[in-house]
């Protein structure tokens, strides 16, 4: 698989990464440990060198899983994790105090079975802690050799600038896909100006863009999508038009909807690295195939024209979670 540089950070990763959250958390019951390890290792065998986790995924279980799965190839991969919640539990609230960043980092190093974290993200901006203190703490951890690069997740342009002035931000991770293009307004220009890479999560619209979900789909009771307005049965029905358009384009390119959605992201900027997640080996192989799909200027024009005629319905987060975004 081709490699990409995350902005001007010097951090080189595979063009597609693997989002590991869903193996432990968020989309129903966790995958069986042996199967999850097999999938992570299959991603590595398929050329993936960039793996994304967080203390909040479990909490802690996902970091432990990723650490065990990648231990045999630790020196050949880039592992990203995140801090920023009380006891790693989003429901308890934010905590980006310097002492929590330090204690979380020490614990994550053990869970990940490593002596350095390649990319450490602030999971969400904490308005109670000055950004200078957050970035300054990570800067110290980098100086101590415990962290290599600093990242932010779902941060707004002002916070990104404040952090970057203290410790260069290597990457921003936020949602971006064919059905959530809000980052194009302010975030992408800011990142380009500052030389920061972009790591889109949910690049397949939490599964919707694959065509495997329709208005009749039911989710497990523990599945996060149950509380997402965009995933009400009514909105899924209306949003099907986007999936239909993707299907037409995919057929013309002898590809799948997922591959077109990922190839579209890769075509936007050379410093964008999507991190699709899955629990299924066949979906993993399908996603990795997107790295070889080339969209021409005419293809991109057709997609843009088709999207301009479609209005996606439903917010991407419930109100209480939306409050944590873009600060």
Q: Which residues are catalytic?
A: 57
Pairwise CA distance, residues 31 & 95, whole Å = 28
Q: Which two tokens stand for residue 25?
A: 């958390």
- State the DSSP string of 165-211: HHS-EEEEEEE-BTTB-GGGTTHHHHHHHHT-EEEEESTTGGGGGGT
Residue 155 is encoded by which pair of tokens?
């941060």
For residue 14, what are the contacts with CB-CB under 8 A and spacing of at least 6?
1, 2, 3, 4, 47, 48, 49, 50, 273
3-class DSSP state for residue 123?
A: coil
Residues 44, 48, 52: CA angle, nearest 5 degrees: 100
H or E element in which residue 14 lies: strand 12-14
């Amino acid at each position: 698989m081709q490699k990409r540089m995350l902005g001007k950070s010097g951090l080189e990763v595979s063009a597609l990464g693997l989002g590991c959250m869903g193996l432990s958390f968020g989309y129903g019951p966790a995958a069986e440990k042996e199967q999850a390890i097999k999938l992570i290792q299959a991603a590595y065998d398929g050329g993936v060198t960039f793996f994304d986790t967080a203390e909040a995924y479990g909490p802690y279980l996902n970091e432990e899983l990723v650490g065990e799965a990648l231990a045999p190839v630790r020196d050949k991969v880039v592992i990203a994790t995140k801090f920023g919640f009380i006891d790693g539990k989003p429901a308890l609230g934010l905590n980006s105090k310097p002492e929590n960043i330090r204690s979380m980092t020490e614990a994550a190093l053990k869970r990940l079975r490593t002596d350095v974290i390649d990319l450490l993200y602030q999971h969400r901006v904490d308005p109670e802690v000055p950004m200078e203190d957050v970035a300054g703490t990570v800067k110290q951890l980098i100086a101590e050799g415990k962290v290599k690069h600093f990242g932010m997740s779902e941060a707004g342009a002002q916070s990104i600038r404040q952090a970057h002035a203290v410790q260069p931000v290597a990457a921003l991770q936020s949602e971006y896909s064919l059905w959530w293009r809000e980052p194009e307004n302010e975030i992408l220009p800011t990142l380009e100006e500052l030389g920061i890479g972009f790591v889109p999560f949910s690049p397949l619209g939490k599964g919707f863009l694959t065509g495997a979900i329709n208005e009749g789909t039911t989710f497990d009771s523990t599945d996060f999508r149950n509380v997402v307005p965009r995933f009400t049965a009514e909105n899924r029905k209306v949003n099907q038009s986007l999936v239909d358009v993707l299907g037409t384009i995919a057929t013309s390119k002898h590809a799948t909807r997922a591959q077109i959605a990922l190839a579209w992201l890769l075509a936007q900027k050379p410093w964008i690295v999507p991190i699709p997640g899955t629990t299924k080996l066949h979906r993993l192989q399908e996603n990795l195939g997107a790295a070889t799909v080339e969209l021409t200027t005419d293809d991109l024009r057709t997609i843009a024209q088709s999207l301009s005629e479609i209005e996606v319905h439903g917010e991407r987060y419930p109100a209480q979670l939306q409050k944590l975004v873009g600060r």
